[in-house]
Structure 1
Amino acid sequence: MTDELVMRPDPQKRTPTVSSARDPLHAVLDPGSVAIIGASSDPDKVGGRPVDYLRRYGFGGVIHPVNPRRDEVQGLRTVPSLAALDEPVDVVLVAVPGAAAVEAVEAAAKAGALATIVMTAGFGETRSPEGVAQQQRMLTAARTAGMRLFGPNSQGLANFGTGAVLGFSTMFAEQPPQDGPVAVISQSGAMCSVPYGLLRRRGIGVRHAHATGNDADVTVGELAAAVAADPQVRLILLYLENLADPESLAAAARVARERDLPIVALMGGRSAAGQRAAKSHTGALAGERRVIDAYFAELGIRRAMSMPELVDTTELYLQDWRPQGRRLVVVSNSGAVCVLAADAAEDRAMPLAALSAETEERVASVLPGFATSANPIDVTAALLTDSGLFGRVLPLVAEDPDADAFLLGIPVAGKGYDVPRFAVDAAEFAARTRKPLVVAAPQESVAEEFRRRGMTVYPDESTAIGALDHYLAHAELRRSVRTEPRSYGTGPASADPVTLDEAAALARLADAGIPVVRHHLCRSRDEAVAAFAELGTGDVVAKGCSIDAPHKSELDLVELGLTTPDAVGAAYERLSARIRHLGLAFGGVIIAEQVRALHEMVVGARRDPTFGPVVLIGQGGKYVEYLPDVQVVLAPLGRERALQAIGQLRLARVLGGVRGEPAADVDALADLAVRVGEMVATDPGLVAIDVNPVMLRAAGEGAVVVDALVLAG
């Protein structure tokens, strides 16, 4: 991509980013006038940089430096206060410290400003009573006047399409702006500057670079929704430190979806905080990280796990591709690269395309006899003498219905190789087929030839396949996202939920139409023996029942394989004595049918205070927390989404039937997960449900709950 130093819009030709210039969120992206309280003559100071940037980067509106001690700032006449202005301003920047910043916000509200950006720190982020109180005072002043507040502790907002650079980041001077198709929005100033700098270093233009700070009023989600409406934006990158307002980001995702606009998010602070239901497997496993992943997946947002992962795929999103699948074709002039690329694809669970016999024959017809026509395709060193090999092979493979994406690996080329022709052929192929194609070329001279023609180049095949994997997986995700709006958050769950005993928990599930094991709660030896006779199954299970024993096997409160009345009676005596010996509340002894099945699964649900009901589906049993293979989705969910989650388990291939075993009844498991999700979604008194194990039988034979834990507020 070409890299221009600075893009300066012509003020006479400048067009608003959005249609409504008087809406506060939109006005801050394209203001007609800006006042800087604490404006400085020194362009290296916080109060001086916005003045310098507005003038340097082509802002076409009116700039009002506010400084009572100077007549002029950077060649502009100052005013002593906002009250001295003859007309209201759209946006006010606050660059004065402490209590003066609070007073500046109140002055901006009184002056009728649409929005105020507080760059000053030392407020809510400090968690000190004084800082929190001062931030609340700013917020009250803004809301009373109908003014929107950005920050405090904001590095500022910058729209390089309009020249409205309303911030103080030094990165804008070190990496001069170029208007482009990418938007960066961050709750952290540093994590706004870093991706901006990395992208600019690659020659990628950035249109928006916004750091929202404390999000006291305007959240990163609200700002993302406004930016998503900008028709020039083709990719949004987010850095988040909290998701206190999931509704606003969901609204931004809906706007983005309407425009087919991808969003990629990096989130810091991946902790296990806020698990009200930690007594259950679901509470432990459906922790904050998995719930956030489920939330992002529902919105079609790809979650990056590092800064390189956030930016490395950027150029892929800016290509004019129409990806349809993930099956990869590798073409290289090195057998070693073919092997390493195949390994990298397997590591990523990215299947190599199985080319048809006809395709392989056609490829073989244009390659030398010692080349490899199967995927991965090794054209060998013959490329040195025949520069048209890539150009002839790629179109032949592209016609194969299994070929979704391509990696062109060129580990060595240079003098004697017609590298410009390789690049031209590859670029023409990508443009014609609109199928994703990435290049792995460690030699800079080779890489540059491809970049000059708009191709995406990585230094090695592993990095290239990793980026392609993220991009293609995101394309699949975006095609399957939920389209209907939903509400998030239920407020905090009960701080001290009550644990139902197993009998009561099974009864709640049965009332909801969930199949549970046949069982009887017994309070005497005679009742236990009678229950055995009534079940008539040949062998039963005896379990101690107590609200104090959510996990009975750890307390030696489960006996299996009881086949006679005497054995059942003796088990009852032992278990009831064991409960009393442990000092637990005695709820009785459950005598239940011993169920056998193909697989033990776990299904659970809990009420997350931020995101609302979430459902967990996975492999169950007593090792569920130690060898977790689970998926978490937001509730309520439909059967299709439940089946999709089951299909993403590592166990999924086994559930389909292997080594002579029949396929499992995944439809029954999906239906059970849907019903458990509905229970928590519709009953605000339920904090968590943990169903483990679910005994999953062969296809058509159903699934049965044999143990359950319910926490109710």
Structure 2
Amino acid sequence: MSKIEAIERFLNPKSIAIVGVSSDFSSISGKPLKNLLLHKYKGYIYPVNPKYKEIEGIPCYSSILDIPGDVDVALIAVSSKRMLQIIEDCKKKKVRNLILFGSGFAEVGEEGRQLQEKVLEKAREAGIHIIGPNCVGLLNVKESIPLGFATSFETEKGFHSGNVGFASQSGATGFSLFGLAQEEGIGFSYIVNTGNQMDIHSFDCMEYMLEDEDTSVVAGYLEGIPDGEMLIEISKSSKELDKPLILLKAGRSELGRRAALSHTASLTGSEETFQAIAKQHGIITVNDIDDMIDAMKVFSRGKRVKGNRIVTISNSGAAGIAMADYSEPLGLEMVRLTGETEAKIKSIIPPYGSALNPIDVTAQALKEQHILTDTLELLIKDDQVDAIVFQTTFGGELGKKICQKIAEIDQKTDKPILVTLTGTSELTGEGRTILRNAKVPVYPTTYKTMLSLKYLVDFSMFNKKKNAEFLSTANLNNVKEDMYGIWTEDRVKQELKTLRIRVPNGIVIKDRKQLEEIKENLNYPLVCKIVSSDIMHKTDAGGVEVNILNPVQLERAYGEILKAVTQYAPNARIDGVLVEEMIEEKGIEMFIGVKQDPQFGSLIVCGLGGIFIEVLKDVSIRKAPVHLNEAHEMLKELKGYPLLEGVRGEKPRDIAAFAEVLSKISQYASQNNGQISEMDINPVWVFEEGKGIAALDGVIVWKECLGKSVTI
């Protein structure tokens, strides 16, 4: 049985066993049965505990082996120490789906980790799939099937079904969010708490939810990345299916990472890398539960935007200013209205209002409520407007009437309308309810509204992007015999030449005899650099001499470099001295790097080069490979990007040439994914526009070299 098939059975079981059940419905082992009865589960229920003959009139069995019928899913509420025997019993009974509630596994240390591995090994041998351990269960909201003991299951009002699927490593966080979202009128299809993710993990559940026809928004709470490549694959499905993927990832700080490890035995990974991957693949990332609920709200409506051009309407000048202030940093354009639209709005609003965006209809709308709604209908018809934010403080009967009218207008258009309705529940609660029932996204503050609109714009714009083709790179797939150890600068530059990347002309001098033979025939000025896999920071070792103008200076530089390096690192292996042309064109120093991430594989990095890497830490990251459009996006993210565009009279630099090289190196890294530990091309000089680039230094550390102490 595949994981997808297993998840289908978990969510739609025809029969459920509860192993370790209790008649005390206030206990963890009693609540699963209580919840199934509360929500009138229609399948077979088989309580298992030798202490009881029956519970609530349902026969209770001494062992899972005594159950007379088939069991689709078994809920296991017993000690972790009994798990190996439970697996054996389930194997004999041909129970293939288990939910493990108990703790005492990898999250508690080495002994628990070993037990978890043994349980998983036995389960795989038996063809058993597991959700958990250390989880509170799952909920098929569509069919009202609660499998577990989450407090949210105990509602007597029933569940609000809808189009949001949610997978969470944390049970408390996941089902708390569910409860709050239900109060906001957000309907769900499924919720699964994966806990320690021994077998089935959060991405498996998200994959299932993306394919589910009743689920159009998929969200997740993560404490680690169980499978980096799978995350990328489901993000591609998200784009293809036009179903937003919203993620809240814990462990962004060092303290948070340690807490996540102890909580669910997760290795959280680099937050910087995770955010880069999310941006590259159109994943919506949020900072907390509130933000996730707000994102769910705007996406569950199902509308998309054509662009980022927004118009805001309010009965408060201050609110309009706040919306304008938030729009720019959030990447939203407060579009200038067409003359015709502006003139029509002026004819509707009081003369002391403002028809400019943000539109201020003033408090006169208290008397004439049509002012707000007539203005809204005008903007709906304007093709230059992609989305509308409607802000009001009106409550009571007037507020209800306005909200009802907004809901009616919203049903007639594909254009997103978001509402900020400020005020107490006593005054504005009925208006909020009207909007929620109509699926109109409504928020209590301006910032929450504008941030939610940003999520919608980002996803809509990402999905409009066409898949770009990669550059054709010569010899990209050629496997070299020497792809091991450390490639020093001279060898790296040979490789860059095969990729059609400009490097200075040079030669490695092995000894003084060779120096004597060639010194008169070289083109001066020159640069000399030590070549040694044991010396990565050549300048620190005295291994670099520049502006060498003649053969005499070359001989002196050669001798001084060897002397300095020998004193710096007496045991270093010296392969020679690289002598190459000194490029005198003025260029901006950039760098291109590759690093191997344990979760996502080869990453491509760029930023300002030279000493600025460590000082400014101004870098952009993507998973390799990146096409030209992505390479340009990476550069635009840099704080130093204006230097490339040209500032204070400086001419623009050859951004296109650098982006092309960045794309080529990323493809090289991707083709050698898993083989390159680190790669550093630094500096890369970027010359004036049209004059290209030159890679002046570089090193590659191949995977086979990881056991050696190397500093790049």
Instruction: Give the TM-score band, short-chain normalised.
Output: 0.7 to 0.9
Counterpart check, 1:201 vs 2:183:
yes
The residue correspondences of 1:333-352 to structure 2 (distance < 5 A) are: 333-352=315-334
What are the superposed Cα offsets for residues 190-241 of structure 1, whole Å, 9 maximum, x if unpaired? 2222211221232323332211122222122112222333322222221112
Q: Which runs of 5+ in 2 are unaligned?
A: 256-268, 470-483, 705-712
Alignment partners' CA distance in 2, 1:354 and 1:236: 35
CA shift, 1:345, in A, is 1.5
Corresponding residue SS for 1:141: helix
Alignment partners' CA distance in 2, 1:328 and 1:529: 71
Say whether the 8 Å CA contact 1:398–1:433 is kept in structure 2: yes
Query: For residues 398 and 161 of structure 1, do their structure 2 counterparts lie closer, same or farther at Cα, with a shift above 3 Å needed?
Result: closer
The residue type paired with residue 697 of structure 2 is D
Query: For residues 255 and 49 of structure 1, do their structure 2 counterparts lie closer, same or farther at Cα, with a shift above 3 Å needed?
Result: farther
- Partner residue of 1:137 out of 118, 134, 138: 118
The residue correspondences of 1:634-645 to structure 2 (distance < 5 A) are: 634-645=623-634
The aligned residue for residue 479 of structure 2 is: none
The aligned residue for residue 277 of structure 1 is: none
The aligned residue for residue 438 of structure 1 is: 418
CA shift, 1:315, in A, is 0.9
Query: For residues 653 and 350 of structure 1, do their structure 2 counterparts lie closer, same or farther at Cα, with a shift above 3 Å needed?
Result: farther
The residue correspondences of 1:485-564 to structure 2 (distance < 5 A) are: 498-522=485-509, 536=523, 539-554=525-540, 557-563=543-549
The aligned residue for residue 262 of structure 2 is: none
Counterpart check, 1:147 vs 2:133:
no
The residue type paired with residue 419 of structure 1 is G
Corresponding residue SS for 1:596: coil
CA shift, 1:34, in A, is 0.5
CA shift, 1:614, in A, is 1.6
Alignment partners' CA distance in 1, 2:646 and 2:541: 35
Corresponding residue SS for 2:656: helix
The residue type paired with residue 654 of structure 2 is D
What are the superposed Cα offsets for residues 609-645 of structure 1, whole Å, 9 maximum, x if unpaired? 3322221133333112332332222223333332333
The aligned residue for residue 688 of structure 1 is: 678
Deviates more, 1:104-113 or 1:343-352: 343-352
Counterpart check, 1:183 vs 2:171:
no
Percent identity between the two aligned chains: 28
- Partner residue of 2:303 out of 307, 318, 321: 321
Alignment partners' CA distance in 2, 1:530 and 1:269: 60
Corresponding residue SS for 1:468: helix
- Partner residue of 2:142 out of 161, 169, 179: 161
CA shift, 1:573, in A, is 4.2
Deviates more, 1:473-482 or 1:380-389: 473-482
Counterpart check, 1:472 vs 2:457:
yes
The aligned residue for residue 566 of structure 2 is: 580
The residue type paired with residue 515 of structure 1 is R
Say whether the 8 Å CA contact 1:51–1:74 is kept in structure 2: no
CA shift, 1:55, in A, is 1.1
The aligned residue for residue 708 of structure 2 is: none
Counterpart check, 1:413 vs 2:394:
yes
Query: For residues 517 and 307 of structure 1, do their structure 2 counterparts lie closer, same or farther at Cα, with a shift above 3 Å needed?
Result: farther
The aligned residue for residue 594 of structure 2 is: 605
The aligned residue for residue 456 of structure 1 is: 441
The aligned residue for residue 11 of structure 1 is: none
Query: For residues 345 and 604 of structure 1, do their structure 2 counterparts lie closer, same or farther at Cα, with a shift above 3 Å needed?
Result: same
Counterpart check, 1:170 vs 2:151:
yes
Say whether the 8 Å CA contact 2:144–2:159 is kept in structure 1: no
Query: For residues 531 and 309 of structure 1, do their structure 2 counterparts lie closer, same or farther at Cα, with a shift above 3 Å needed?
Result: farther
Counterpart check, 1:427 vs 2:407:
yes
What are the superposed Cα offsets for residues 310-367 of structure 1, whole Å, 9 maximum, x if unpaired? 2222110111422111222222222222222211112323222133344333333333
Alignment partners' CA distance in 2, 1:403 and 1:511: 49
Alignment partners' CA distance in 2, 1:710 and 1:557: 19
Query: For residues 22 and 632 of structure 1, do their structure 2 counterparts lie closer, same or farther at Cα, with a shift above 3 Å needed?
Result: closer
Say whether the 8 Å CA contact 2:16–2:43 is kept in structure 1: yes
Counterpart check, 1:72 vs 2:54:
yes
Deviates more, 1:624-633 or 1:234-243: 624-633
CA shift, 1:553, in A, is 4.3
Query: For residues 508 and 258 of structure 1, do their structure 2 counterparts lie closer, same or farther at Cα, with a shift above 3 Å needed?
Result: closer
Counterpart check, 1:404 vs 2:407:
no
CA shift, 1:705, in A, is 0.8
Corresponding residue SS for 2:11: coil
Alignment partners' CA distance in 2, 1:250 and 1:210: 20
Say whether the 8 Å CA contact 1:184–1:195 is kept in structure 2: no
The aligned residue for residue 368 of structure 1 is: 350
Say whether the 8 Å CA contact 1:70–1:78 is kept in structure 2: yes
- Structure with more relative contact order (C-alpha pairs < 8 Å, separation 6 or more): 1
Alignment partners' CA distance in 1, 2:465 and 2:384: 21
The aligned residue for residue 491 of structure 1 is: none
Corresponding residue SS for 2:189: strand
Alignment partners' CA distance in 1, 2:116 and 2:549: 69
Corresponding residue SS for 2:124: helix
The aligned residue for residue 656 of structure 2 is: 667
Alignment partners' CA distance in 1, 2:461 and 2:678: 31
CA shift, 1:38, in A, is 0.5
Q: Between Structure 1 and Structure 2, how many residues are aligned?
A: 665
Counterpart check, 1:378 vs 2:360:
yes
Deviates more, 1:309-318 or 1:200-209: 200-209
Say whether the 8 Å CA contact 1:272–1:288 is kept in structure 2: no
Q: Which runs of 5+ in 1 are unaligned?
A: 1-19, 274-286, 485-496
CA shift, 1:399, in A, is 4.3
The aligned residue for residue 677 of structure 1 is: 666
The residue type paired with residue 467 of structure 1 is S
The residue correspondences of 1:254-273 to structure 2 (distance < 5 A) are: 254-270=236-252
Say whether the 8 Å CA contact 1:298–1:481 is kept in structure 2: no
The residue type paired with residue 500 of structure 1 is W
The aligned residue for residue 224 of structure 1 is: 206
The aligned residue for residue 700 of structure 2 is: 710
Deviates more, 1:611-620 or 1:426-435: 426-435
Deviates more, 1:99-108 or 1:396-405: 396-405
Counterpart check, 1:246 vs 2:246:
no
TM-score by length of 2: 0.85
Say whether the 8 Å CA contact 1:635–1:681 is kept in structure 2: yes
The residue type paired with residue 423 of structure 1 is C
The residue type paired with residue 536 of structure 2 is P
CA shift, 1:265, in A, is 0.9
Alignment partners' CA distance in 1, 2:272 and 2:568: 35
CA RMSD of aligned residues (A): 3.2
Query: For residues 352 and 524 of structure 1, do their structure 2 counterparts lie closer, same or farther at Cα, with a shift above 3 Å needed?
Result: farther
Counterpart check, 1:38 vs 2:23:
no
Corresponding residue SS for 2:410: helix
CA shift, 1:248, in A, is 4.1
Alignment partners' CA distance in 2, 1:606 and 1:561: 33
Alignment partners' CA distance in 1, 2:630 and 2:563: 45
TM-score by length of 1: 0.85
CA shift, 1:437, in A, is 2.3
